[in-house]
């Protein structure tokens, strides 16, 4: 399907359920998709950071996209991440995910090698020139150690290179500069400004975001869809209450003992444990070398679910 321009609403970065031996668990993945669709989401983002794309082999990535696009059958837009270090490697992923049916690609700035704004611009221009589908930029400084400047995003949008931005930088002021800049620029139309900051979706929509890509929406899609609707209807107080409920639920990402694992193992482990506890997926395993949650840490995840009325 053609990507809406702009894409609005809730577009969860879909977790990738794994079997105990770390293969993609396709039946669980499709149940997760059904769970999200039943929650009312407006699109799906596969192979993002929350999807553990950085841990999936090329074969596994292809299987994920093919399975999801075949399952949703064009009823929802499916965006796919093309996460890799450089232009040639990203182009290989773009070919793969678009052959597998992705409606748009989400592309991060080059990483590993030291980079430069001129090289980042060149990267997006080359990727967009070769991509058969729209390209959204993905701003995730905690992963790539550079920040996408608002000016650069707007320049690339005005030149037709970028169709949107997924901003997971946490920098609402910078995101606002993109949102208002895109709105006010005569040469930019249909630009999708999406926030990845799940704790301030209400604030992002209030400054003009088109939609949100909240990892926590895997666990509670209904909550984020409700939040989105409340924001759009102008009911700010109930929106704030819903957002605060989701913020409390998000506390689950910190259950993992920081002496024993990194923040990523804890957060993705918690999301998968929650999906497992809710009966959506068969196995909460995360990809290697992430450290699994302990039984006690899983019990703390369950408490967060109970507190939010989800268990």
Q: Which residues bind a second copy (CB under 8 A)?
A: 22, 49, 54-58, 60, 83, 85-89, 92, 110-116, 118-120, 122-123, 126, 142-145, 170-173, 176-177, 180, 197, 199-200, 202-203, 206-207, 236, 240, 244, 247, 259-265, 287-291
Nearer to a second copy, 218 or 290 (CB): 290
Tokens at residue 4, please? 């809406």
3: Cβ–Cβ under 8 A, 6 or more apart, which residues? 77, 79, 103, 104, 133, 134, 163, 192
85: Cβ–Cβ under 8 A, 6 or more apart, which residues? 110, 111, 112, 113
Nearer to a second copy, 46 or 76 (CB): 46
Nearer to a second copy, 8 or 115 (CB): 115
Measured over the CA atoms of residue 84, residue 103, residue 167 and residue 148, the dihedral's sign is: positive
CB of 247 to a second copy, least distance (A): 7
Q: Which helix (H) or strand (E) holds 104?
A: strand 104-108
CB of 89 to a second copy, least distance (A): 6
Q: Within 13 A of 269's CA, how many CA atoms are on the CB side?
A: 24
Is the distance from CB of 173 to CB of 140 less than 8 angstroms? no
The backbone region for 104, taken as left when phi is positive above 0, alpha when psi lies in -120 to 50, beta otherwise, is: beta
Nearer to a second copy, 103 or 131 (CB): 131
Q: Which helix (H) or strand (E) holds 78?
A: strand 78-81
CB of 260 to a second copy, least distance (A): 6
* Residue among 160, 153, 150 at smallest CA distance from 187: 160
CB of 32 to a second copy, least distance (A): 20
- 224: how many CB neighbours lie within 10 A of its CB? 29
Q: Dihedral (C-alpha) 277, 281, 285, 291: value to the nearest 10 degrees?
A: -50
CB of 170 to a second copy, least distance (A): 6
CB of 95 to a second copy, least distance (A): 10
**What's the Rg (C-alpha) of the chain?**
18
CB of 257 to a second copy, least distance (A): 10
Nearer to a second copy, 89 or 299 (CB): 89
Is the distance from CB of 212 to CB of 203 less than 8 angstroms? no
The Cα 155–Cα 299 span in angstroms is 48
Nearer to a second copy, 103 or 266 (CB): 266
Nearer to a second copy, 76 or 271 (CB): 271
Nearer to a second copy, 55 or 278 (CB): 55
CB of 72 to a second copy, least distance (A): 26
């Amino acid at each position: 399907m053609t990507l809406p321009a702009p894409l609005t609403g809730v577009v969860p970065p879909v977790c990738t359920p794994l079997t105990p031996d770390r293969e993609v668990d396709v039946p669980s993945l499709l149940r997760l998709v059904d769970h999200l669709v039943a929650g009312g989401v407006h699109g799906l983002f596969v192979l993002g950071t929350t999807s553990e794309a950085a841990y999936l082999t090329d074969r596994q990535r292809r299987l994920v996209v093919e399975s999801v696009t075949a399952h949703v059958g064009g009823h929802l837009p499916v965006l796919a991440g093309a996460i890799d270090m450089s232009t040639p490697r990203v182009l290989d992923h773009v070919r793969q995910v678009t052959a597998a049916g992705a409606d748009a690609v989400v592309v991060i700035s080059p990483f590993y090698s030291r980079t430069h704004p001129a090289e980042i611009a060149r990267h997006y221009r080359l990727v967009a020139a070769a991509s058969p589908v729209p390209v959204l930029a993905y701003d995730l400084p905690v992963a790539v150690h550079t920040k996408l400047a608002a000016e650069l995003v707007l320049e690339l949008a005005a030149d037709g290179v970028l169709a949107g931005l997924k901003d997971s930088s946490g920098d609402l002021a910078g995101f606002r500069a993109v949102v208002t800049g895109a709105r006010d620029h005569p040469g930019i139309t249909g630009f999708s400004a999406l926030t990845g900051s799940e704790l301030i979706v209400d604030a992002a929509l209030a400054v003009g975001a088109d939609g949100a890509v909240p990892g926590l929406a895997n666990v509670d899609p209904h909550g984020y869809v409700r939040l989105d609707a409340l924001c759009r209807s102008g009911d700010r107080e109930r929106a704030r209450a819903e957002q605060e409920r989701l913020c409390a639920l998000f506390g689950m990402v910190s259950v993992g003992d920081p002496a024993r694992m990194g923040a990523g193992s804890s957060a993705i482990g918690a999301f998968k444990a929650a999906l497992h506890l809710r009966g959506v997926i068969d196995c909460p395993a995360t990809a290697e070398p992430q450290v699994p949650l302990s039984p006690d840490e899983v019990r703390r995840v369950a408490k967060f679910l109970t507190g939010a009325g989800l268990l």
